Amino acid sequence: MAINKRIYNGRKRSNVFFLTLSTLAAVFGLIWLALILSTLFYKGFAGLSLKVFTEMTPPPGQDGGLANAIFGSVVMSLLAVAAGTPIGILAGTYLAEYGRYSKLADTVRFINDILLSAPSILIGLFIYVVIVATTHTFSAWAGAAALTVIVIPVVVRTTENMLLLVPNGLREAATALGAPRAMVIKAVTWRAARAGIVTGVLLAIARISGETAPLLLTVLSNQFWSTHLGGPVASLPVIIFNFAMSPYEDWHKLAWAGALLITIAVLTLSIFARLLESSKKQ
């Protein structure tokens, strides 16, 4: 019995030891979240004022805001979502409805998953070679194209997942009424999966609003108010990058304010997406 006791205690000790380590791992993760968010809010709010939304990016040493960068970001994101969402939804529909069990669809699914996690700077290089190098100009169009390439796989993935959750009974019922396949998809399955598809689009917007690397290679930036999409325009992430890398204190302040704006936008979008998703599941 003495030996048993020793084994027993040893097992108990290692149990306590490893479970404590696991708990510490969770604490470790939460600490960094708290540290990053508190620094961001502290420094970001210090730089935030009405001017941030109404004035242009300033030269060093002068007052200014981020209005042109916010405008550029919003325009390029809207363009990318407008172009990427229909393509993504249709491709996701093909995977879930027409090619659910086919080899071909499996290949598309595989490639889509790779694109989903492909380094975004490579997408920037790709668009640079295809668009910027052939048109000989950095432009908002090229930036929007790069963001579109990022939007598509996100929307494909969520659309497919959400369509797969739609019960087959719904499709069968509609087909039994004589509705053709396209009508079943458009009027029944899309409608049933609507919240899920919107979730996918929100996640895609969240994903592109912080993207910096592809914009750096395709749009450059612009110090002025520019609505000319055929040329460089400012965008929040690139301005943050340029300003943070500079030696000027005022620019750092604006960079923090911009970072706070992006983070608030991204976190709000992902929380909305999560709410939509969970309301769908219930």
Question: Applying CB under 8 A, does 123 fall inside the site for other proteins?
Answer: yes
Rounded-to-integer distance, Cα 72 and Cα 225, Å: 9
From the CB of 49, what's the least distance to other proteins, in Å? 19
Out of 78, 165, 173, 182, point to the residue binding other proteins (CB under 8 A).
Answer: 182
Site for other proteins in 19-78 (CB under 8 A): 19, 21-26, 28-30, 32-33, 35-36, 39-40, 43
Give the closest residue to 150 by CA, choosing from 40, 222, 237: 237
Residue 83 sits in the site that holds other proteins (CB under 8 A): no
Q: Is 255 in the site for other proteins (CB under 8 A)?
A: yes
From candidates 237, 251, 254, 257, binder to other proteins by CB under 8 A: 237
Q: Pick the binder of other proteins from 93, 139, 158, 222 (CB under 8 A).
A: 93
Q: Select from 78, 133, 165, 173 the one that contacts other proteins (CB under 8 A).
A: 133
Do the beta carbons of residue 205 and residue 262 sit within 8 Å?
A: no
Residue selected from 79, 80, 95, 197 as contacting other proteins according to rule CB under 8 A: 95
Nearer to other proteins, 14 or 227 (CB): 14
- With CB under 8 A as the contact rule, the residue among 58, 65, 88, 143 that binds other proteins is 88
* 4 vs 62, beta carbon nearer other proteins: 4
Calpha distance 30→4 (Å, rounded):
39
CB atoms under 10 Å from CB of 7, counted, come to 9
Binding of residue 128 to other proteins (CB under 8 A): yes
**How many chain residues interact with other proteins (CB under 8 A)?**
92
Told to check if 111 binds other proteins by CB under 8 A, we report yes
* 240 near other proteins, judged by CB under 8 A: yes
CB of 147 to other proteins, least distance (A): 13
* Of residues 74, 33, 25, the one with CA closest to residue 265: 74
